[in-house]
Structure formats: structure tokens, C-alpha cells
Amino acid sequence: MKYTPLTLSAVLVFSAACVDDQELPLGPDTKPVADNADGAHEGNVHFYFLPPMVDQPSYSGTFDGSLVPVVEICIWDGS
């Protein structure tokens, strides 16, 4: 099969158009960091993340099923 210069030019233009120009919010070499602020990780002593998210925590007390905890997932800005 014979390719013309016009065909090759079109392939190059379309290939260049497929590049993602968006910047990554964390940068190319930065990995996301998880900050678990629960009773086992210097947070609220009345709230614990459980497996499989973290290892089984060590805690004392009784379970209160009437509580409705709120978990906020946000982009960490360092402050």
C-alpha cells in the first residue's frame, strides 16, 4: 500500500490532537496521600475506619448504632 504525503500529514495532525493538555492536580511525580483521622490515627476517638480500608483497630467501649457519622473526602491542600 502506498501512502501519500497528505495521508501521512493527516495521521500526524490527528495523533498530535490526541494529547491530553490538562495538568495533573498533584503533579506528575506526586502520589496521592491518604490522611485517616480516626481514633487509631490521632483523630476522633469515637470513630474508627475498619478493614479493608485499614488494619483492624484496637479500641475499647461499646458500639452505638444510633450515631450517624459523616465522612468528608476532599482534596488536601496542606493546611
pLDDT tens string 33-77:
667 788 888 888 888 888 988 899 887 888 888 988 887 887 877
CB 59 within 8 A of CB 40: yes
User: What is the pTM (predicted TM-score) of this model?
Assistant: 0.41
Instruction: Look at residue 66 in the predicted model and tell me its pLDDT.
Output: 93
- Residues 6+ positions from 26 with CB-CB distance below 8 Å: 32
- Please, what is the Cα angle at 76 between 70 and 79, to 5 degrees? 100
Cell of 51: 478493614
The torsion angles phi and psi of 12, rounded to 5 degrees, stand at -65, -40
